[in-house]
């Protein structure tokens, strides 16, 4: 099958970059543009985007988009997130791209970040396809007159989240008992504090934890800010248990961590939800809980049975591979939805 020429709009970092690279591994030519550097390099741009909406910047971005596209032609434009992409920008893109789609793993039609995604909602009916990760988003996007909506699972990356060799030096640097790796959110502080008070040896890594009202009690357990790349992989692989927490404001029933932790071979310990129960067999491939009390019980029991913990982690990794929830798998599904060619 012929490779596609794809214009990929999104940040050139993190999971967005992982997805662009997955398209490349599928054999396609990818031109990756980040629209944020086209706007003034000041924090007020991001504050306006969150508080008013990215549509405010459309006049600047339309002019730049026209200049950048010039005489170029693409088979597909993949917009990742789309917080600055308005109907006017899509109109420009469609002069140079046969199809324009949007892929969003946030909650663009939900209550938490509504103003941030004003441009997304304005543009829903102009995309050829919207790929979303929540069942609620499907109905809400259709209510915005979206032409076509498909629901996909979040994904881990076949390369970025492949297990690394762990040397004794790496193990000594990154080992932990019960690790939570993620940004502070108001509901997370009380939960982790409850685990600590039950005697669970919790390690915390992530941004903004100094904002937690419980900071003075959590600080001894905080091991540093956000990490990525090999450090991220090493931290997960060297943890006996990896605690997964949902974003309540985003109506999550699974998160990217739900795939990345088992992909890396880590033991996944998360809230019991219908989607987590669909992904992994409880007690065999992952550990689930309903509240901090049950989570503490599960962690303490498994830390006393390291062989059982290792067996669950290994089974979870095998299940992740069998589920085919890697970036390449998900992007193949998106392309099939658009009836576009891709490699087997």
If pLDDT is split at 50, 70 and 90, which confidence band does 1 have?
low
Mean pLDDT of the chain: 95
| Residue 171 CB neighbours (<10 A) | 12
Structure tokens at 23: 């398209």
Q: Where are the domains of the chain?
A: 5-155+326-337, 168-323
Distance in angstroms between the alpha carbons of the first and the last residue of the chain: 9
Q: Which whole-number Å values give the CA distances from 69 to 65, 112, 255, 276, in the listed order?
A: 6, 34, 34, 42
pLDDT(310) > 90: yes
Domains 5-155+326-337 and 168-323 share a fold: yes
pLDDT(214) > 80: yes
- With 0-12 / 13-18 / 19 or more C-beta atoms within 10 angstroms meaning exposed / middle / buried, residue 257 is buried
If pLDDT is split at 50, 70 and 90, which confidence band does 344 have?
very low
pLDDT of residue 133: 96
Calculate ∠ Cα 325-126-112, nearest 5°: 60
Structure tokens at 170: 């790496």
- Tokens 């915005």 correspond to what residue? 144
Alpha helices per DSSP H over the chain: 14-25, 43-51, 58-69, 87-94, 118-123, 135-143, 168-174, 188-197, 215-218, 229-237, 257-263, 274-279, 292-303, 306-323, 327-337
If pLDDT is split at 50, 70 and 90, which confidence band does 340 have?
confident
> Could you say which of 2.40.50.110, 3.90.550.10, 1.10.3470.10, 3.40.50.2000 is the CATH number of the domain covering 5-155+326-337?
3.40.50.2000
* pTM attached to this predicted model: 0.94
pLDDT of residue 215: 97
Section 183-197 average pLDDT: 96
| Residue 93 CB neighbours (<10 A) | 21
Tell me the CATH architecture of domain 168-323: 3-Layer(aba) Sandwich (3.40)
């Amino acid at each position: 099958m012929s490779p596609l020429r794809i214009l990929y709009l999104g940040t050139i970092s993190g999971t967005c970059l992982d997805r662009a690279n997955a398209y490349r591994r599928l054999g396609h030519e990818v031109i990756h543009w980040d629209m944020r550097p086209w706007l003034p390099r000041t924090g007020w741009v991001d504050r306006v985007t969150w508080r008013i909406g990215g549509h405010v910047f459309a006049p600047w971005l339309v002019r730049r988009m026209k200049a950048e596209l010039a005489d170029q032609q693409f088979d597909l434009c993949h917009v990742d997130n789309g917080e600055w992409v308005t109907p006017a920008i899509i109109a420009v893109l469609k002069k140079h791209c046969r199809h324009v789609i949007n892929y969003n793993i946030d909650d663009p039609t939900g209550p938490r970040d509504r103003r941030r995604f004003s441009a997304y909602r304005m543009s829903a009916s102009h995309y050829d396809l919207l790929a979303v990760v929540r069942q609620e988003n499907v109905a809400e996007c259709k209510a915005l007159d979206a032409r076509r909506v498909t629901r996909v699972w979040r994904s881990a990356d076949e390369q970025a989240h492949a297990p690394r060799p762990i040397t004794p030096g790496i193990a000594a640097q990154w080992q932990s008992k019960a690790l939570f790796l993620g940004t502070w959110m108001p509901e997370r502080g009380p939960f982790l504090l409850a685990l600590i008070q039950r005697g669970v040896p919790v390690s915390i890594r992530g941004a903004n934890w100094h904002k937690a009202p419980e900071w003075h009690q959590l600080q001894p357990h905080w091991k540093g800010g956000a990490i990525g790349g090999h450090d991220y992989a090493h931290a997960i692989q060297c943890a006996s248990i990896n605690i997964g927490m949902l974003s309540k404001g985003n109506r999550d029933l699974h998160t990217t961590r739900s795939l990345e932790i088992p992909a890396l071979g880590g033991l996944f310990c998360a809230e019991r939800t219908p989607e987590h129960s669909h992904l992994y067999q409880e007690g065999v491939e992952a550990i689930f809980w309903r509240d901090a009390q049950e989570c503490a019980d599960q962690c303490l029991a498994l830390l006393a049975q390291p062989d059982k913990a290792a067996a669950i982690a290994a089974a979870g990794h095998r299940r992740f591979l069998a589920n085919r929830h890697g970036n390449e798998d998900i992007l193949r599904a998106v392309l099939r939805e658009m009836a576009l060619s891709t490699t087997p």
